[in-house]
Amino acid sequence: MQLVGRQHSIFRTPYFNRMLYSVTFFPKNSTVEVEGGTTLLDSAAKAGISLNAVCGGEGKCGKCRVIVEGAVDSPDTALINPLDWENGYRLACQCKVRSDLIVFVPHEAQVGEHKILTTFHVAELSDLSPLVSWRYLDLPLPTLDDNLGDLERIERSLGLTHGELDAPLEVLRKLPDVIRSSNWNVSVVLEGKHNLIDIRPGECLRELGLAVDIGTTTVVAALIDMRTGEVLSQASDYNKQIVCGEDVLSRIAFCEDRSVERPQRLVLDTVNTLISKIQVDIKAREEFNLTGDDISSISVAGNTTMIHLLLGLDPRGIRYDPYVPLTNLPPIMRAGDVGIEILPQAPVYFVPGRASYVGGDIIADVLASELHASQETSLLIDVGTNGEIVLGNRDWMVACSCSAGPAFEGGEVAHGMRAMMGAIDSIQLKEGEIEYTTIGGGKPIGICGSGLIDLIAEMFKNGVVDKKGRIQDLTNPRVRMGDEGSEFVVAWAEETAVDSGRLDFPDGRRGDIIITDNDIHNIILTKAAVYAAASVLLKSVDLAFEDLSQVFVAGGFGNYLDIGKATVIGLLPDLPENKFVFLGNGALAGARLTLLSETKRKEANTIHERMTYFELSTTQAFFDEFSSSLFLPHTDIGKFPTVRKLLERSG
**CA–CA dist 644, 130 (Å, integer):** 51
**Domains of the chain: total:** 5
What value does the mean pLDDT take over residues 174-196? 95
What value does the mean pLDDT take over residues 197-214? 94
Going by pLDDT thresholds of 50, 70 and 90, the confidence category of residue 30 is confident
pLDDT computed for residue 411 by the predictor = 67
Q: Is the bond into 322 cis (omega within 30 degrees of 0)?
A: yes
Going by pLDDT thresholds of 50, 70 and 90, the confidence category of residue 189 is very high
Q: How far does CA 624 lie from the centroid of its chain?
A: 31
Beta pairing, strands 65-69 & 72-73: unpaired
Between 55-69, 178-192, 613-627, the lowest mean confidence (pLDDT) is in 55-69
Dihedral, 460, 465, 466, 468 alpha carbons, nearest 10 = -100
Is pLDDT above 70 for 578?
A: yes
Provide the residue type at 343 as one letter: L
Has residue 115 been placed in a domain? no
pLDDT computed for residue 6 by the predictor = 36
Q: How far are the Cα atoms of 38, 115, 406 from residue 387, in angstroms, in the given order?
A: 35, 20, 10
What value does the mean pLDDT take over residues 590-617? 95
pLDDT digits over 442-479, tens only?
A: 899 889 888 999 999 999 999 999 999 999 888 889 99
Range of the domain at 64: 9-109
pLDDT computed for residue 533 by the predictor = 95
Dihedral, 595, 128, 608, 537 alpha carbons, nearest 10 = -100
Do 352 and 401 have their domain in common?
no
What value does the mean pLDDT take over residues 247-270? 92
pLDDT computed for residue 219 by the predictor = 94
Name the 3-class secondary structure at 592.
helix
What angle is formed at CA 393 by the lines to CA 392 and CA 395, rounded to 5 degrees? 105
Going by pLDDT thresholds of 50, 70 and 90, the confidence category of residue 485 is confident
The upper half-sphere exposure of residue 24, i.e. CA atoms within 13 Å in the direction of its Cβ, equals 8
Contact 553, 561 (CB under 8 A): yes
Do 158 and 288 have their domain in common?
no
Do 516 and 533 have their domain in common?
no
pLDDT digits over 84-95, tens only?
A: 888 888 999 899
71 versus 579: which is more confidently predicted? 579
Do 444 and 573 have their domain in common?
no
The upper half-sphere exposure of residue 279, i.e. CA atoms within 13 Å in the direction of its Cβ, equals 15
Q: Give the helix/strand (H/E) hosting 593.
A: helix 586-596
Do 89 and 155 have their domain in common?
no
Name the 3-class secondary structure at 102.
strand
Angle between helices 620-628 and 517-540 (to 10 degrees): 130
Q: How far are the Cα atoms of 405, 525, 615, 621 from residue 536, in angstroms, in the given order?
A: 19, 16, 11, 7
Is pLDDT above 70 for 17?
A: no
21 versus 411: which is more confidently predicted? 21
Has residue 494 been placed in a domain? yes
Going by pLDDT thresholds of 50, 70 and 90, the confidence category of residue 4 is very low
Q: Give the helix/strand (H/E) hosting 536.
A: helix 517-540
Burial of 331 (0-12, 13-18, 19+ CB in 10 A): exposed
3-state DSSP of 232-294: EEEEEEECHHHHHCCCHHHHHHHHHHCCCHHHHHHHHHHHHHHHHHHHHHHHHCCCCCCCHHH
What value does the mean pLDDT take over residues 219-227? 95
Name the 3-class secondary structure at 314.
coil
Angle between helices 449-461 and 641-650 (to 10 degrees): 50
510 versus 629: which is more confidently predicted? 629
Pick the closest to residue 558 from 393, 383, 401, 428 (CA basis).
Answer: 383
Is pLDDT above 50 for 13?
A: no
What value does the mean pLDDT take over residues 117-140? 83
Do 495 and 416 have their domain in common?
yes
CATH of the domain at 28: 3.10.20.30
Has residue 15 been placed in a domain? yes
Is pLDDT above 80 for 550?
A: yes
Per DSSP, 9 falls in state G
Do 483 and 546 have their domain in common?
no
CATH of the domain at 595: 3.30.420
Has residue 3 been placed in a domain? no
Is pLDDT above 80 for 11?
A: no
pLDDT digits over 156-181, tens only?
A: 999 999 999 999 999 999 999 999 99
Has residue 518 been placed in a domain? yes
Do 427 and 576 have their domain in common?
no
Is pLDDT above 50 for 10?
A: no
What value does the mean pLDDT take over residues 392-397? 97
For 415, other C-beta atoms within 10 Å of its C-beta total: 24
**CA–CA dist 592, 126 (Å, integer):** 14
Pick from 45, 74, 109: which residue ends a domain?
Answer: 109
The residues near 310 (Cβ < 8 Å, ≥ 6 apart) are: 214, 264, 267, 268, 271, 300, 302, 338
pLDDT computed for residue 365 by the predictor = 96
**CA–CA dist 465, 535 (Å, integer):** 25
Q: How far are the Cα atoms of 86, 427, 530 from residue 565, in angstroms, in the given order?
A: 42, 10, 15
Contact 34, 46 (CB under 8 A): yes
Is pLDDT above 50 for 5?
A: no
**CA–CA dist 566, 396 (Å, integer):** 28
Is pLDDT above 80 for 7?
A: no
**CA–CA dist 356, 316 (Å, integer):** 10
Has residue 2 been placed in a domain? no
Q: How far are the Cα atoms of 178, 261, 302 from residue 183, in angstroms, in the given order?
A: 9, 46, 44
Do 215 and 327 have their domain in common?
yes
CATH of the domain at 192: 3.10.20.880
Average predicted confidence (pLDDT) for the chain: 88
Do 219 and 161 have their domain in common?
no
Has residue 380 been placed in a domain? yes
Is pLDDT above 50 for 2?
A: no
Burial 498-508 (b: 16+ CB within 10 A, else e): bbeebbeeeee
Contact 625, 636 (CB under 8 A): no
Between 188-197, 235-244, 518-527, the lowest mean confidence (pLDDT) is in 235-244
Beta pairing, strands 333-334 & 347-350: antiparallel
For 491, other C-beta atoms within 10 Å of its C-beta total: 25
What value does the mean pLDDT take over residues 117-123? 63
**CA–CA dist 608, 578 (Å, integer):** 29
pLDDT computed for residue 548 by the predictor = 98
What whole-number percentage of the chain has pLDDT above 70? 91
Do 319 and 421 have their domain in common?
no
Has residue 650 been placed in a domain? no
Do 227 and 351 have their domain in common?
yes
Q: How far are the Cα atoms of 463, 502, 531, 564 from residue 457, in angstroms, in the given order?
A: 10, 34, 16, 9
**CA–CA dist 445, 455 (Å, integer):** 15
Contact 591, 456 (CB under 8 A): no
pLDDT digits over 329-347, tens only?
A: 999 999 999 999 999 999 9
Q: Is the bond into 27 cis (omega within 30 degrees of 0)?
A: yes
